[in-house]
Amino acid sequence: MSVKVLYVDDEPDIREIAVMALELNSGFEVKSVDGGRAALAIAAEWQPDVVVLDVMMPDMDGPMTRKALAEQQSTADIPVIFATARTQPTEIEGYRAMNVAGVISKPFDPMTIADQVTSILGADRLG
């Protein structure tokens, strides 16, 4: 069984690297979009197992997108992992208060991001 990962980031280069890096895990099926509004639409339709969400994006940032996902019945139970360069302890506490599954620091290591997602989700969520 594959794990469906939706990667959301407004930077095309980062999105491309993230998709390639996540696909290093043969158990991951990965799609990516460039912002919050697109994430809401594809998450409702595709029903990913996890959304990896950039915190800082124009128009609809990560926290706004997280809130909207939680408010949509069809996406409310999908775990969200924030990806961000803002990783001070107080910032991490703020993210956790938003009920995210975890936080991945940016810039991320392409060789370990799939393992980080797996670790955050835990074996119980991965079937």
Task: Indicate the CATH number for domain 3-125.
Answer: 3.40.50.2300
Q: What is the pLDDT along the chain (127 residues), one digit of tens a residue?
A: 799 999 999 999 999 999 999 999 999 999 999 999 999 999 999 999 999 999 999 999 999 999 999 999 999 999 999 999 998 999 999 998 999 999 999 999 999 999 999 999 985 555 4
Listed by start position, the domains of the chain span 3-125
**Prediction pTM value:** 0.94
Strand order in the sheet with 50-54: 28-33, 3-8, 50-54, 80-84, 102-105
